[in-house]
Amino acid sequence: MGFRLKLVPSDTRIDFFRWQKLTFGLSALMMIASVIVLFVNGLNFGIDFRGGTTIRTEATQPVDVAAYRAALSGMDLGDVSITQVFDPGFRADQHVAQVRISAQDGVESVSPETIRAIEAALQQVDPSITFPSVESVGPKVSGELIRTAIYAVLAALVAISIYIWLRFEWQFSVGAIVSLVHDVLITMGVFALFQIRFDLATVAALLTIVGYSINDTVVVFDRLRENLMKYKKRALREVMNLSVNETLSRTVMTSGTTLLALIALLVLGGDVIRGFVFAITFGILIGTYSSIYVAKNFVLWLGVKRNWNKDDPETQEGRKKRVKSPFEGAEEV
């Protein structure tokens, strides 16, 4: 007999509505807190959205942020941000920093001459310093990228709502959209709270979260629709609990295996993709939570139309109408 790994027993009977008010209130509180943090702190836009130039430095000597700043202080560069980059994958003699120069009024980006002057000034501080990459984005381009990113997320939400509406009923569509807005808003709130860099890669991560979350929600909704047709006499809450329990093993296995790869990337992938990987990792966790505790709570609150055209196998009428198989009760030869 082959070995089958089961992280969740096949006959779970968890009451997911036991703490319904607590989970629903927690979700509402997190969404409100995310909106407040977004307005108060704002997002830490990367160079893609802010415009300007980012110079990545690498040296064998430890980074001296104060010395770097002093070397650039007399160059009239405007807003300059210097941050040291830490990563467990770096060598012992590998010290990395980012020099971020915001775009100035009337200037698309820092000129090549200015970049060479910046590099020369930093090499006066540390002769071993090198410059692996230089990225420049103009203010006009960054503004267009912000609008395009917003349109992309909104278009994804609209397309998904139409798909859910056509495949199920409008109550399911409302529950799915509220769940997706919940996931995206709270993820952005976490980015604003911890001032994690928000760039185009993060937008791609948000779209990935939307797709992953809706996939998980559709699986639960699909099983719920089947059970609503099978168990017409059961209460809606009971059928929902049954549906989530029946798909719980699939949810845990899918999310768990995905998280294994993401955690490896989060630890070993380096600082360049850390924001992207963190967004997807957090999004999968919050998306799994919302599929179970947010989407179906809205469906329960709105109610759904029950299909009474199919007999319930657990009722006396359903048992009477069952057709007995000619092989039922036969002895094995």
Is residue 313 in some structural domain?
no
Average pLDDT across the chain, whole number? 79
The reply to whether 229 and 277 lie within a common domain is yes
Q: Which of 120, 137, 154 is the last residue of a domain?
A: 137
The reply to whether 178 and 68 lie within a common domain is no
Give burial (CB, 10 Å; 0-12/13-18/19+) of 127: exposed
Domains in the chain, number:
2
Cα-flanking dihedrals φ and ψ of residue 152, to 5°?
Answer: -65, -45
What is the average per-residue pLDDT within 299-324? 56
Distance from C-alpha of 213 to C-alpha of 160, rounded to nearest angstrom? 11
pLDDT confidence band for 324 (50 / 70 / 90): very low
The reply to whether 81 and 148 lie within a common domain is no
Residues in the chain: 333
The boundaries of the domain holding residue 76 are 52-137
Q: Which of 137, 172, 201 is the last residue of a domain?
A: 137
The reply to whether 64 and 133 lie within a common domain is yes
Q: Which of 110, 137, 164 is the last residue of a domain?
A: 137
Higher pLDDT among residues 233 and 193, named by residue: 193
The reply to whether 97 and 237 lie within a common domain is no
pLDDT at 292 over 80: yes
pLDDT confidence band for 318 (50 / 70 / 90): very low
Tell me the two tokens of residue 314. 């657990």
Q: How many CB atoms lie within 10 A of CB 68?
A: 22
Cα-flanking dihedrals φ and ψ of residue 92, to 5°?
Answer: -65, -30
CATH code, domain carrying 258: 1.20.1640.10
pLDDT at 309 over 70: no
Distance from C-alpha of 190 to C-alpha of 195, rounded to nearest angstrom? 8
Strands 80-85 and 95-102: antiparallel
Q: How many CB atoms lie within 10 A of CB 141?
A: 15
Give burial (CB, 10 Å; 0-12/13-18/19+) of 217: buried
Highest-pLDDT range among 42-56, 131-145, 241-255:
241-255
